[in-house]
Amino acid sequence: MGFKVLEASSADDALTLLDSMRIDLLLVDIHLPGAQDGLDVACHVHARGMPTRMILTSGVSEASAIPDLDDLGLFIRKPYLISRVISLVSHSLSWSDPSTL
């Protein structure tokens, strides 16, 4: 789809990337391995006021089980269709208000 994608194998690696370069969109599993998890990564982005849009994902059945989710970004539950992810990514990068998706 033409997106430049960087991959992090842990929350620690994701935080290192986020602190070293501009990331326009973060797609993160809230259960990312590491000393911290994906939810910690999303909270880090939010707390620092970074211009990074976020899509969070998890296999949990209820998004309401995730604290402060609405403040952090969009949520897509696993399993998901790759076409749905591509659509969310495309819209998140081009729309001024991703909460309208």
CATH number at residue 35: 3.40.50.2300
Model pLDDT for residues 77-97, shown as the tens digit of each residue: 889 999 999 999 999 898 654
Residue 5 lies in a domain: no
Separation between Cα atoms, residue 12 and residue 40, nearest integer Å: 10
Whole domain around residue 49: which residue ranges? 11-93
Residue 53 lies in a domain: yes
Burial of 37 (0-12, 13-18, 19+ CB in 10 A): middle
Average pLDDT score over residue span 60-83: 79
Let me know: does 66 contact 75? Beta carbons within 8 Å: yes
Residue 20 lies in a domain: yes
Q: Which of the four pLDDT bands, split at 50, 70 and 90, describes residue 72?
A: confident
Let me know: does 74 contact 54? Beta carbons within 8 Å: yes
Residue 3 lies in a domain: no
Within 8 A by CB and 6+ apart from 43, the residues are: 68, 72
Count structural domains, the chain. Answer: 1
